[in-house]
Amino acid sequence: MKDKRIAILFLTIFIDLLGFGIIIPILPNLAKTMASASASGLNPDVAVGLVAAVFSIIQFLFAPLFGALSDRIGRRPIILGSIIANVIGYTVFGFAGSFATLLMSRIISGFGSANISAAQAYIADISDAKDRAKKMGIIGAAFGLGFVFGPPLGGWLYSAGSHSTYGGMMYVGLFTALLCVLNFILAFVLLPESNTQLGGVRRKPIDTFKGMAQAWNIEIIGELLLINFIYITAFSMMQINAAVLWKEHYFLSPKAIGNIFGVIGVFSAVVQGGLIGFFQKKIGLNRMLLWGCPIAGLGLTLIPLPSLEWFYPVQVMAILFLAVGNGLLMPSVNSLVSLHSPADAQGKMLGILQSMGSLARSIGPLASGFLYAQYYRLPYFTGGFLMLITFGLAFVLVRKLKTIQRV
């Protein structure tokens, strides 16, 4: 990356997602253990969903606020402040000795990770129309890489720390906090302010939420938002709950759980990076959307089914289905939203799509915690059923798109 500003933004978002990925193999089981030991009376399985959901809820609520605030006071203060919040959040996580403290650490980290809107605005400030998409793609790559490397690293750190005097949580928390300190130093030194119109046009955070409500009523866009929302809800149910399932019913260690999530990330990266161009050329965006729904649903449904002897073969098959389903769905949704958005509102519509994804990632974990408390396979069967619903919605939408294309 020739532009050091883009490199620093890449590092900031990468560490955000690395921190999120690092805790995936360990957070659900920690939350369940701590909730079981607390006197709150909260169902431990529901507590798992709560501690996972609160991060995305805070991110959803405060990303528009931080984006609007960055218009007034600058991108740099928001980005630097969010990094400090992450330093605090991961330090609190490393020393958390109760469920309440664990929950607080995730709330603080939710604030810290609500900086994506400021980062995107920074890129818009320093880009022209010709290279903006390319630079935005670099931020997207940071998301993917954070999820590829985070879970295996988190599982390894926790396993290594569990044999020490300090414990695995401290290893995970302080390692991630130190990465954020390094990120802060680099950003403080190398990231100048990009907003040259401070205090100019002031966007109100409420305008973002109004825009979300209005977008649901736009033909084609509304249907795509709904499909994306249901899919991410279903996927996030698995993403948070699987660590508990694999520990309690398949006796996996945090290290093994992290490795499985890492494989999911690698497979998804390979599909999206190497095969999507082939799929788009051969079958087109409409069929990618249509086929992705049942393939992802099959992957979700397979996860809790195998016996101990068949665990790894079936999980590999489920991961392949999830990777292909996700690789077909997400690019097709993003591309179709862009194609059917007004020329002067593509960024806004894609931003709304991302915000609705954050909301779905808060609903999914809450639902999975409640469902798992009833029956351990229920979150995955529900996820598969939700993907059948998206298939029906996609089928209707594709027929409508074909009609529009013939006109």
Q: What is the pLDDT of residues 21-53, one digit of tens each?
A: 888 888 888 899 898 887 777 888 888 889 888
The pLDDT-based confidence of 139 (bands split at 50, 70, 90) is low
pLDDT of residue 215: 73
Residue 55 pLDDT exceeds 70 = yes
Tell me the C-alpha to C-alpha distance, in Å, between residue 192 and each of 76, 127, 128, 195, 342. Answer: 7, 15, 18, 9, 32
On the question of a common fold for 1-191 and 204-407, the answer reads yes
Mean pLDDT, the chain, rounded, equals 82
Around Cβ 321, how many Cβ atoms within 10 Å?
Answer: 21
Higher pLDDT, 60 or 197: 60
Q: What percent of the chain stands above pLDDT 90? A: 26
pLDDT of residue 204: 59
pLDDT of residue 313: 93
**Region 114-130 average pLDDT:** 71
pLDDT of residue 343: 60
Residue 78 pLDDT exceeds 90 = no
Burial 230-247 (b: 16+ CB within 10 A, else e): bbbbbbbbbbbbbbbbbb
The dihedrals phi and psi of 147, each to the nearest 5 degrees, come to -80, -30
pLDDT of residue 67: 72
* Rounded Cα–Cα distance for residues 158 and 31 (Å): 15
Residue 249 pLDDT exceeds 90 = yes
> Is the Cβ–Cβ distance between 326 and 297 less than 8 Å?
no
Which CATH number applies to 1-191: 3.30.360.10, 1.10.540.10, 1.20.1250.20, 1.10.645.10? Answer: 1.20.1250.20
Residue 301 pLDDT exceeds 80 = yes
pLDDT of residue 133: 54
* Rounded Cα–Cα distance for residues 363 and 235 (Å): 11
CATH architecture of 204-407: Up-down Bundle (1.20)
Residue 406 pLDDT exceeds 60 = no
pLDDT of residue 273: 63
Digit-coded pLDDT (tens) for 342-360: 665 655 676 677 778 888 9
Min mean pLDDT across 194-198, 282-286, 334-338 is at: 194-198
* Rounded Cα–Cα distance for residues 96 and 34 (Å): 10
Higher pLDDT, 64 or 178: 178
Report pTM: 0.81
pLDDT of residue 233: 94
Contacts of 263 (CB under 8 A, 6+ apart): 316, 319
The pLDDT-based confidence of 407 (bands split at 50, 70, 90) is very low
Write down the domain spans for the chain.
Answer: 1-191, 204-407
* Rounded Cα–Cα distance for residues 317 and 302 (Å): 8
Contacts of 181 (CB under 8 A, 6+ apart): 87
